[in-house]
């Protein structure tokens, strides 16, 4: 398979050299030194993505281990950065993912930020080289999906979104300035604002107007509409504005036409909550059952139905829903659980695509 190798500029290489010299480690690293990071990269180049978790010690992401991590990444950059920048960018993103999953923290995020420099330092500006554009968009979408799970909107914005500020727009700019063009960026910005509404007990009221504004902006693009409106619905539910929550869902029209099962499931779940808020218990119960029809073993609609029936004094029905909710099969997936994590639900498929593009 021919390798797709985006043409990066000299800045990345200069950065690589600078990193090493600046850290005073270049002299300490033999040209052929192969620590765990370099070994993992060699395996990764050969198509073994599992090498990262198999070879790199988790201790590299905590305490003094981080120094070795940085040294070895700098060494890998020196050795491979010139010719393998795209795959290095994908590899470092996966290293960051492994770091976040094993210990989390600053060091993993530093790795991700470093990886981005190999994506954005290009010879051609955005909008000039379709392959480079595709890779850059794919890398950022993957990074945003990864960062969503942290539920730290400032981090998501700083590392995932802000660097795209002057590089990407939702539609082609009027004066033809070169840009990456993808309506997704509006949804990504809205996700940051939505996560801000969850940051602390007072943030819902404080941050909701900005989030609603962003979601409305995102909803102007057809591809974003269902997810933007389902998220706006939930925001209105959390604010106790139940009529507006239902109106947001109605904006979409025919929900059976929405292909994203997860978003459709959320729409019924949130419709149920809004209807409950309006005192329309029977309709709420029907909405929750619709959610269950989409994901039969989901625990959340069962919990909602159990709570609703308790409120209605139907204790036997409540106990029955509760029993169903806690006895779902071990491999059952409930899409509600991914709601607060932005686009994390897309991480695996985006990562797979990124791997393809990087090789």
Residue position matching structure tokens 């999906």: 145
Radius of gyration, alpha carbons of the chain? 23
Does 67 bind other proteins (CB under 8 A)? Our answer is no
| Residue 131 Cβ vs other proteins, minimum distance, rounded to whole Å | 30
| Residue 295 Cβ vs other proteins, minimum distance, rounded to whole Å | 12
Q: Which of 52, 302, 351, 354 binds other proteins (CB under 8 A)?
A: 302
Please answer whether residues 90 and 354 qualify as being in contact, where contact means their C-beta atoms are separated by less than 8 angstroms: yes
Nearer to other proteins, 128 or 311 (CB): 311
Other CB atoms within 10 Å distance of the CB of residue 129? 17
Q: Which of 28, 326, 349, 352 binds other proteins (CB under 8 A)?
A: 326
Q: How far apart are CA 8 and CA 14, in angstroms?
A: 11
Q: How far apart are CA 239 and CA 219, in angstroms?
A: 20
| Residue 211 Cβ vs other proteins, minimum distance, rounded to whole Å | 16
Rounded to whole angstroms, what are the CA distances from 239 to 198, 204, 243?
12, 8, 11
**Which residues are registered as beta bridge partners of 122?**
8
Binding part of the chain for other proteins, among 5-13, 39-47, 185-193, 310-318 by CB under 8 A, reads 310-318
Q: Is 74 helix (H, G, I), strand (E, B) or coil?
A: helix
| Residue 258 Cβ vs other proteins, minimum distance, rounded to whole Å | 21
Does 151 bind other proteins (CB under 8 A)? Our answer is yes
Does 155 bind other proteins (CB under 8 A)? Our answer is no
Distance of CA 75 to the CA centre of its chain: 29
Two tokens, residue 341: 């994590």
Does 150 bind other proteins (CB under 8 A)? Our answer is yes
Query: What mask, x for binding other proteins by CB under 8 A, covers residues 80 to 119?
Result: ---------------------x----x-------------
Q: How far apart are CA 328 and CA 9, in angstroms?
A: 52
| Residue 52 Cβ vs other proteins, minimum distance, rounded to whole Å | 15
Binding part of the chain for other proteins, among 125-133, 205-213, 245-253, 300-308 by CB under 8 A, reads 300-308
DSSP state of 8: B
Residues touching other proteins, count (CB under 8 A): 43
Written in H, E and C, the secondary structure of 31-55 is CCCCCHHHHHHHHHHCCCCCHHHHH
Residues in 332-351 that interact with other proteins by CB under 8 A: 332-334, 336-337, 340-341, 344
| Residue 137 Cβ vs other proteins, minimum distance, rounded to whole Å | 23
Nearer to other proteins, 120 or 300 (CB): 300
DSSP state of 125: P
Residues in 261-290 that interact with other proteins by CB under 8 A: 269, 273
| Residue 183 Cβ vs other proteins, minimum distance, rounded to whole Å | 27
| Residue 350 Cβ vs other proteins, minimum distance, rounded to whole Å | 14
Q: Concatenate the DSSP letters of all residues of 138-186 into one string.
A: HHHHHHHHHHHTTT-HHHIIIIIIGGGTTTEESS--TT----EE-THHH
Other CB atoms within 10 Å distance of the CB of residue 299? 20
Does 313 bind other proteins (CB under 8 A)? Our answer is yes
| Residue 346 Cβ vs other proteins, minimum distance, rounded to whole Å | 13
Q: How far apart are CA 96 and CA 81, in angstroms?
A: 17
Q: Which H helix or E strand runs over 181? A: strand 180-181
Please answer whether residues 122 and 8 qualify as being in contact, where contact means their C-beta atoms are separated by less than 8 angstroms: yes
Please answer whether residues 209 and 215 qualify as being in contact, where contact means their C-beta atoms are separated by less than 8 angstroms: no
Residues in 183-202 that interact with other proteins by CB under 8 A: 198-201
Q: Which chain residues interact with other proteins by CB under 8 A?
A: 101, 106, 149-151, 198-201, 203, 269, 273, 299-300, 302-304, 306-307, 310-311, 313, 315-316, 318-319, 321-323, 325-328, 330-334, 336-337, 340-341, 344
């Amino acid at each position: 398979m021919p390798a797709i190798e985006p043409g990066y500029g000299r800045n990345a290489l200069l950065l690589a050299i600078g990193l090493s010299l600046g850290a005073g480690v270049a002299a300490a690293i033999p040209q052929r030194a192969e620590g765990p990071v370099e070994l993992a990269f060699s395996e990764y180049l050969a198509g073994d993505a599992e090498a990262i978790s198999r070879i790199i010690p988790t201790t590299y992401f905590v305490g003094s281990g981080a120094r070795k991590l940085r040294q070895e990444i700098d060494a890998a950059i020196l050795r491979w950065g010139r010719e393998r920048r795209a795959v290095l960018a994908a590899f470092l993103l996966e290293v960051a993912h492994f770091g976040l999953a094993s210990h989390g923290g600053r060091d993993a995020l530093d790795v991700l930020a470093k990886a981005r420099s190999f994506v954005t330092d290009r010879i051609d500006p955005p909008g000039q080289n379709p392959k480079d554009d595709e890779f850059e968009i794919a890398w950022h979408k993957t990074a945003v999906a990864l960062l969503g799970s942290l539920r730290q909107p400032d981090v998501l914005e700083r590392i995932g979104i802000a660097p795209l500020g002057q590089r990407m727009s939702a539609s082609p700019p009027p004066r033809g300035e070169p840009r990456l063009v993808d309506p997704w960026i509006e949804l990504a910005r809205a996700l940051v604002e939505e996560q801000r509404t969850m940051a602390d007990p007072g943030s819902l009221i404080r941050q909701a107007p900005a989030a609603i504004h962003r979601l409305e902006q995102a909803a102007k693009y057809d591809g974003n509409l269902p997810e933007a409106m389902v998220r706006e619905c939930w925001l209105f539910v959390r604010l106790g504005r139940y009529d507006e929550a239902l109106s947001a869902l109605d904006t979409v029209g025919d929900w059976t036409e929405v292909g994203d099962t997860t978003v459709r499931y959320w729409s019924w779940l949130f419709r149920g909550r809004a209807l409950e808020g309006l005192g329309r218990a029977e309709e709420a119960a029907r909405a929750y059952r619709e959610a269950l029809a989409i994901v039969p073993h989901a625990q959340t609609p069962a919990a909602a139905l159990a709570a609703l029936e308790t409120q209605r004094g139907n204790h036997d029905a409540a106990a029955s829903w509760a029993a169903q909710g806690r006895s779902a099969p071990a491999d059952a997936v409930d899409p509600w659980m991914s709601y607060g994590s932005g686009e994390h639900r897309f991480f695996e498929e985006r990562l797979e695509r990124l791997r393809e593009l990087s090789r």
